[in-house]
Amino acid sequence: MEGSLPASGVTASALPTQHPVELCLDNLKDEVLNVLRNEASYKDTIQRLETELSVYKRAYADVDLELKAAQLAQLETETINRRLEQECQSFKKQDKGHRIVMLLDGDGAIFSPQFIGQGQKGGHAAAQLLSDATLQYIAANYDSRALQLWVYVFFNKRGLVDALRRAGFAALIGKFEDFVLGFNQATERFLMVDVGSTKEAADAKLKVYLEDEIRLPETFKIIFGGCHDNGYVANLHSQITAGFKDKLILLRSYTEMAGGIAALGLPTLTIPDLFMPHKIEDIPSSPTSTNGFNPPLSGKVNLGVDTPPPVTPRLLNPNVAIQKQKPMLCTLYYMKSCKFGAGCKFAHDYVLTDAQREDLAKFTKKTPCPTALSGGQCKFGTGCCYGHVCPYVPNCFFLKQGKCKFKQANMHTTPASSSG
């Protein structure tokens, strides 16, 4: 049989039945007992979580402090960086150097007789003109800072005096030493040095000074006055290759530079009337010369000690077109050569930059060549500073009105069309 009988003969129906509410209360009692038994565990968990929260709060506060410290450090770093950048810019400016060094081969760049003939006074005047023109040129083209100008002139006195005597400049020889003295006394940084009669002694000095001075960080520019001699081409080219091209400026003495020097394409400074424009042996004789003196300049040269020094060179007015400057520029003087010299009614004393000379050349081309205008054959050809063809061809407005200055028929024909 399945199941079993209740003990002592008691039947199942005789057992007491538990009320549902009582049964629910018993179950709830068990749950409460379980909660009470776990209360301690919950308290421990809560305490542990509170401890961890406190740790996290302290950690957050520490991180917040570190973040604020980092932000402050960043601001300080940015301030330091700005100051360092300013100092760097200042150092860069200092690195540009503060010295302009001029190196002159005195055997080729020979000062004009109008200075030598005045002796000591002429030396002062030549130094003043050299200084003013150079610093004005640098300020106009490179840097307007206060810069120091150092000038070294190396020459062979005996050879130079002999050359002057042979060329008929005997009147200058007695004044030459006084001229050198005056030049050296003009300022502490100007020096004319007789290097002796050894062959190419001046060249050797110039090359060594060029090599040393151009590498000094204090040197801002080197102005090289040996443009008459192709013997310096290799030295100049070497400095260009070494990365010093930006430091080099050429100082023109003779009207024509040596071909190799000109081919270097370096910026050129010209100081009108400071040097003889031609080699001594190339200066033409003059029927009006006296005592064997042949003037190297196109104007009259007075060798008396009372000759007034030349005027200080002037700069162009940047607000006025080059053709409207007052006084007006002598086009022939700057483009070729002026036969009137000191007697010319136009100005010879402007210091022009290469760009200004280019502007003047363009303007001059707008003026018809007198020879070509009269129907003649200009001996200068394409090298003429004046125009042989109307600059407005083929659409010359003035030609249509019959008012164009280029009156010859072929002056309104372009070279390409005339050849066809």
pLDDT tens, residue by residue, 192-204? 999 988 877 888 9
Cα angle for residues 271, 317, 388 (degrees, 5° grid)? 75
Average pLDDT over residues 273-286: 70
**397 vs 369 pLDDT, higher one:** 369
Residue 402 has pLDDT above 80, yes or no: no
Q: What is the pTM of this model?
A: 0.51
**46 vs 312 pLDDT, higher one:** 46
Average pLDDT over residues 321-335: 85
Residue 314 has pLDDT above 90, yes or no: no
Tens-digit pLDDT profile for residues 199-233: 778 889 999 999 999 999 899 999 999 988 888 99
Nearest partner of 204 among 286, 288, 107, judged by Cα:
107
Q: Where does the pLDDT of residue 306 fall: very low under 50, low under 70, confident under 90, or very high at 90 and above?
A: very low
Query: CA 360 to CA 283: how far, in whole Å?
Result: 27
Residue 116 CB partners (closer than 8 Å, separation 6+): 122, 172, 175, 176, 179
Q: Where does the pLDDT of residue 293 fall: very low under 50, low under 70, confident under 90, or very high at 90 and above?
A: very low
Residue 236 has pLDDT above 80, yes or no: yes
Average pLDDT along the chain: 81
Query: CA 279 to CA 296: how far, in whole Å?
Result: 9
Residue 124 CB partners (closer than 8 Å, separation 6+): 182, 183, 185, 186, 309
User: What's residue 15's pLDDT?
Assistant: 55
Residue 164 has pLDDT above 70, yes or no: yes
User: What's residue 95's pLDDT?
Assistant: 54
Residue 111 has pLDDT above 90, yes or no: yes
My answer on whether omega of the bond before 415 falls inside 30° of 0, hence cis, is: no
Residue 184 has pLDDT above 90, yes or no: yes
Share of the chain above pLDDT 70, in %: 84
